[in-house]
Amino acid sequence: MAAAASSKYASSDLRQLLFLIDTAYDRVSWHGPNLRGSLRGMTPALAAWRPAVERHNIWELIVHAAYWKYVAWRRLTGAKRGSFPLAGSNFLARPVENTKAALQADLDLLDEMHRVLREAAAAVPAGALDLGSAQRGVTKRALLTGVAAHDLYHAGQIQLLKRLERTCRAEARQREGG
């Protein structure tokens, strides 16, 4: 009886964590745009735009988010390093090719990294969320909570980058017109 109750609790607990990572990524969320929502209608020009020379563009944030979802998946499953489809880690310089197809490929990569991470999260056995991941000191629960917060941290930044680009473009048009 006690085991059944514990299993039910863990299952509801996991559902809540999945809800958290879903709403942070692509399910309707209360807190405004989630990561995928912030990327809706993205164009190569907007994704590649930088507010200053050394600053990241939206495109780099897309690949950065994909990379950390991959890392979280690896830590969750204990998979070996080195299977991320792109060379490099953390922030990868983007764009390599400033085309719609190249942007779509990176958006697809982000979707895929999210999909496999979510799949691995959903397969965590009841009661195992508070066991360590393949990362010293970090539980599976902490890993998944962290991934969701990380998505939103950058979604907020992408919203600012979009606004900033729009303003700069309008100012440039005004200068040209004037």
Partner 1 sequence: MSVIQSLVDEYRRYKALAEAAIAQVGDEELGHAGHDGGNSIEMLIRHIAGNLKSRFTEFRTSDGEKPWRHRDDEFESAGLSRTALLQVWEESWSVLFVELEKLGDGDLSSTVTVRRQPLRIDEALHRSLAHTAYHVGQIVFMAKAMRGGGWRTLSIPKGKSEEYNQKATGETAAAHAKKLMER
Nearer to partner 1, 94 or 154 (CB): 154
CA separation for the pair 167, 1 (Å, rounded): 61
d(C-alpha 24, C-alpha 172), whole Å? 34
Residues that bind partner 1 (CB under 8 A): 12-13, 16, 19-20, 23-24, 29-32, 51-52, 54-55, 88-91, 130, 135-139, 141-142, 145-146, 148-150, 152-157, 159-161, 163-164, 166-168
Which residue's CB is nearer to partner 1, number 67 or number 107?
A: 67
Nearest CB to partner 1, comparing residues 108 and 130: 130
Quick one: 77 or 159, whose CB is closer to partner 1? 159
The least CB distance from residue 106 to partner 1, in Å, is 18
Q: How far is the CB of 9 from partner 1 (least distance, A)?
A: 8
Task: Supply the minimum distance, in Å, between the C-beta of residue 99 and partner 1.
Answer: 26
